Structure 1
Amino acid sequence: MLTVHTIRDATPGDWPAVWPFFHAITAAGETYTYPRDLTADQARDWWMLRAPGRTVVAVDEKTGEVLGSAKMNPNHMGGASHIASASFMVDPAHAGRGVGRALGEEALAWARAEGYRGMQFNAVVESNTRAVRLWKSLGFRILGTIPEGFRLPDGTYTGLHVMYREL
């Protein structure tokens, strides 16, 4: 079932709705390279970006509930600042409803409108097959994989993909 949602710029008042799923996802330690013990204040500072970055939320049109969020930013500075990057989190209670795809499409549209020439994801966890499949369906390709670049909570290792698409 697809959720009917709106994507809009995040406001400081959205953080209390984002933090619970952000915390659950990062504390699980299976899909993000963020420290698993981030405080709400640390996480907010990393996620809620100012220009030239942008943070958005996907909101259920009927209930107003925040379903997911994305942050978009230059991947590097200086001579590499023409390549964008982004990160995405969808509340697990709303997974499989098209929220991640909509956030990905929004990030790509933003990057194009801002004049970026490409978008690069620096660290897509190989075992996060839903994300890898989604990004491939949106035109990203795996440029390379760092073997055993990510340690899972059970102590095993999986690869870390660098993914890219031209704009």
Structure 2
Amino acid sequence: MLIREFTDADWPRVWEIVAEVVRAGDTFTYDPATTAEQAYDIWVERPPGRTVVAVDGDRVLGTAKMGTNRPGPGSHVATASFMVAAAARGHGVGTALCRHALDWARGRGYAGMQFNAVAESNHAAVAIYRRLGFEVVGTVPGAFAHPTLGRVGLHVMYCAF
């Protein structure tokens, strides 16, 4: 598996992953009716942020975006988001993408990385983030409307560098 910079030629395959994840409605706070155009504007980071793909040959296994969490006085903290194709889950793609984002942020002098809205029911992601040094610093009860579990909490997670 190789993690490389996203190019516009990747978008059709990235959109397949984004659409699959967003339409499931069980991990991201994006509107399940998000169009490809809207998703492109949300997912593809402008510099100095970065969007990457994890590939195996010509297969896109997953994607990540990373950048500054907040402007101005909060600009010393990074953030990132990750999506992995259903067929590639459980094979280390999400972990590799998260490690890549952490290395990217450290290399740019950020003080840490914050995730603003991790569904507490997304046990696989929460476990990966904890293994990589994140901690839950707060949970907003019932802030995420899960399609089968009902309202679950959204974690704010942080990893200091």
Q: TM-score range by the shorter chain?
A: over 0.9
* Secondary structure at 2:62 match in 1: strand
Structure 1 runs of 4+ with >3 Å offset? none
2:129 is paired with a residue whose SS is helix
Pair 1:89 & 2:83 matched: yes
Corresponding residue to 1:9 among 5, 11, 18: 5
- Identify the residue that residue 132 of structure 1 maps to in structure 2: 126
Q: Are 2:113 and 1:143 equivalent residues in the alignment?
A: no
Partner of residue 109 from structure 2, selected from 111, 115, 121 = 115
Please give the alpha-carbon distance, in whole angstroms, between the structure 2 residues aligned to 1:155 and 1:108: 31
The amino acid that maps onto 1:43 is A
Between the two proteins, what is the percent identity of the paired residues?
53
Cα deviation for residue 111 of structure 1 reads 0.1
What corresponds to 1:79 in structure 2?
A: 73
Q: Secondary structure at the match of 1:21?
A: helix
Q: For this pair of structures, how many residues does the alignment match?
A: 161
Q: Which residue of 2 aligns with 1:35?
A: 31
Is there any run of 5+ residues in structure 2 with no aligned partner, and where?
Answer: none
* Partner of residue 47 from structure 2, selected from 51, 68, 88: 51
TM-score (norm 1): 0.94
RMSD of aligned residue pairs (Cα, Å): 0.9
Alignment equivalent of 1:106, drawn from 92, 100, 105: 100
